[in-house]
Amino acid sequence: MAAATMRKAEELVEKAMKGNDASHDASHVRRVRDLALSIAREEGLSSNSDSMEIVELAALLHDIGCHLFLSFKDPSEAKLVENFLDEEGVEETKKVKILKIINGMGFKDELSGLALCESLPEFGVVQDADRLDAIGAIGIARCFTFGGSRNRVLHDPEVKPRTELTKEQYMKKEEQTTINHFHEKLLKLKKLMKTEAGKRRAEKRHEFMEEFLKEFYLEWDGRA
């Protein structure tokens, strides 16, 4: 796959995600791409150029047409990735894998029990990279950025985190607080990592979030 295709993918990311808030912007995508390539190397995929290309393209394109920002005014908006891969002449087998990875990555889909494409080694690599960017210091910053963009309440001790979530319940976030998102999703991601490299990286980021929450509650209650 030509380097030109990667450059065009980067350009598409910049254009398609330009209006997004900083929790799901082009910088997020670049971090996920870099993490995914690093994890792929640690997982021994670097000897296969096709796998590395699939990982990089899937990571770059994974949030284009994200349900959080789709306007649905243009029916083609949700097909941007598939159209791009067709226009670039990406080999059909690679295209199918890239689309499977992107369509199977979501936390909401894992809640619904949908069959994931875990037989693809590239899938775990890209999904882990995306989830790593949702936790740790960057994850905390992104969480509050997104909550602020939705005018979400920072914290309300009377609103308890939901312990058992279906896909439908997870999607209904209007009454939830930003802090509850840590308990409903972010603190669960460490156990959902698919690769050994992802699991190792998640340990430190998870611990950082736990320490942050301890300090947050102390300060909220005026005990720190």
Taking Cα atoms as reference points, which of 15, 11, 61 lies closest to residue 36? 61
pLDDT at 118: 67
Q: Which of 8-17, 82-91, 114-123 has the lowest mean pLDDT?
A: 114-123
Summarised one tens digit per residue, pLDDT across range 184-217 is 999 999 999 999 999 999 999 999 999 999 999 9
Return mean pLDDT, the chain.
89
Q: What is the DSSP string of 154-218?
A: S--TTSPPPSS--HHHHH--TT--HHHHHHHTGGGGGGG--SHHHHHHHHHHHHHHHHHHHHHHH
Summarised one tens digit per residue, pLDDT across range 97-114 is 999 999 888 876 665 555
Pick the CATH number of 3-220 from 1.10.8.640, 3.30.200.20, 1.10.3210.50, 3.20.20.370: 1.10.3210.50
pLDDT at 147: 95
Summarised one tens digit per residue, pLDDT across range 127-176 is 999 999 999 999 999 999 999 999 999 999 999 998 776 666 666 655 68
pLDDT at 168: 63
pLDDT at 72: 37
Residue 116: pLDDT band with limits 50, 70, 90? low
* Cβ-contact 88, 6 below 8 angstroms: no
Q: What is the DSSP string of 10-58?
A: HHHHHHHTTTS-GGGSHHHHHHHHHHHHHHHHHTT-TT-HHHHHHHHHH
Q: Say what the pTM is.
A: 0.90
Cα angle 104, 108, 113 (rounded to 5 degrees) comes to 70
